[in-house]
Chain A
């Protein structure tokens, strides 16, 4: 117990962990403290809470049509998550359950596509949306993100643990394939769905570049885009920006804490 070498090792571990914790928590701390300070105080590097929180919140709420912006963000993130999970889980299920000669080649092709950076796709994608006449619509934001290759991959990996006996039993009971998917697969895989929800919701909620390009008017802006415009200008109000940053972070935090237990399960493997 009182082995000095082990003790030093322990102290080292804690020191390292404390350092890592500090590095991860400090930006968050700075954001919260900044939200309660005036812009001038933030520039001077004041690291203690101030009294301007309410002022900053009022200014933030009045800087754009908050109801509309929040509605846009929640609609796009929520609907985007539901559709992505649906499409990706069906694809993952299909890839694992059905054998075909080309299965691995198609899947490999998909994975290869992961390496194409979005910047290279942006302009052709925009031209496509322009031809479809859906620029500045919710569809234009949602469509390119629904078939997320990463989430398909994630579901396929998770499906490997799905017992095929369950599917066989369901078949014997007379269920059709879509019924098996809906009534057997989905409930069994709920941890996987929960983990994927966090990942997809966060990605959609924080999505910036594509909505920026394809959405044109103030009425269509999401919270991420609106908060970015707060930083526009030669004399930005940093206190208000910090309030915006908190507002933009909060929903993903809430989703994460709500689904945290399932997230860990989902990461460890859905089926025990």
Chain B
């Protein structure tokens, strides 16, 4: 009996010594800390940017900490709310849809960069979404410029040529879908009925959103919103889509050829190109535009993110100097990350570089990057506001009603009411 307990006591003693020995204090070296969420994408581009900065400033170091995206947001939010700035990074990546939420909920937590950066060199919509009260806070990073990705070989079986897909409307796309369904039996598009992505894309393509520039709800009595819901309803009821649930099934459907196309942000390129055996069988067209809507265009956006400097950052000056001297200046850097990470930056002068002009054999020899960057410059700027998530939830809740052919005006009224109730 005594033997057991003395062993317990020893274990405990060893353990207690352990905890005091291995308590690690925060490193005190002068280095820039960055939080982001993809080791192969935004993390890798940050490392590349810093390697260029290091060539001029050899003593500085960078520390890129990768988190899962939702986890990083939770962590950042908890810490900003607590007001304790210990351990916050110098630079943090924030998704564009959430930018205003952070800027408005935690005023003075982020550093305005207006006096350091010439924002006219970045895509206007990216600048707008990070601007609050005349101050811009971000270094814009990747774009979510949208495109219509299609399997040219499968569409050719139905007699559809790439020319027929250029600068078309959604209703023309629906007609193409019917032809494809008839000739090949394949549904044209996979749709995730638990996501409002496509409604958002349609809204922004016509320069509209759930909210206006002042943050007022613009759902009811918004002709663009009505057109988007009606178009979505026509898409869903035309029998040319197949429902998918979740990311895996969604990407699986068009990479396996169960559907011959999808409609997504430029970042989907990496997922598509991961299937090397399909090289030469893909094409990209501009995203379709809404029919009969004033200001509707063939350029829109889905996702994207930007870098922000925290006001409390221990290496604030260094972080700003690093961001402005690489991210807002180095055209060659943008060529490198485009080739290596498939990251389409929103720094407009980068378009004139080699990599942007190159043609891509995977997409049948088209200069896809230059196409994307041309569309990118045309994306209308909208105010994502601080309640985009709430509006998304309200919209998704009505998707079953939209799909089953419900009355569009009633559906819109219901979405409007729910959003207003939630954001009071």
Contacts and interface: CB of A to CB of B under 8 A. Distances in A.
A263 to B, nearest CB: 19
A30 interface: no
Identify the interface centre among A43, A79, A219: most chain B CB within 10 Å of its CB: A43
A122 B81 CA distance: 10
A82 B39 contact: no
A170 to B, nearest CB: 12
A127 B83 contact: yes
A213 B74 contact: yes
B252 A233 contact: no
A259 interface: no
Interface size class of A (residues with CB under 8 A): 35 or more
Given A40-B275, A79-B15, A213 B252 contact: no
Interface in B318-367: none
Contact of B5 (A63, A83, A133, A187): A187
A229 B271 contact: no
Interface in B171-226: none
Interface centre among A82, A131, A186, A235 (most CB of B within 10 A): A235
Interface residues of B, number: 48
A123 to B, nearest CB: 5
A40 B277 CA distance: 12
Q: A-side binding surface: helix, strand, loop or mixed? A: helix
Contact of B19 (A42, A139, A182): A139
A248 B275 CA distance: 30
A260 interface: no
Interface stretch (B64-72, B383-391, B397-405, B411-419): B64-72
B274 interface: yes
B396 to A, nearest CB: 21
B87 A127 contact: no
Given A127-B83, A213-B74, A232-B37, A44 B24 contact: no
B87 A44 contact: no
A65 B74 CA distance: 24
B66 A232 contact: yes
A128 to B, nearest CB: 9
B15 A229 contact: no
A249 to B, nearest CB: 18
Contacts of A102: none
Contact of A233 (B40, B79, B81): B40
A187 B275 CA distance: 61
B138 interface: no
Contact of A235 (B1, B12, B274): B274
Given A126-B82, A232-B39, 6 more contacts: A123-B81, A135-B84, A216-B87, A231-B68, A234-B270, A235-B274
Interface of A: 40, 42-45, 63, 75, 78-79, 82-83, 86, 122-124, 126-127, 130-131, 133-139, 142, 182-183, 186-187, 209, 212-213, 216-220, 228-229, 231-235, 238
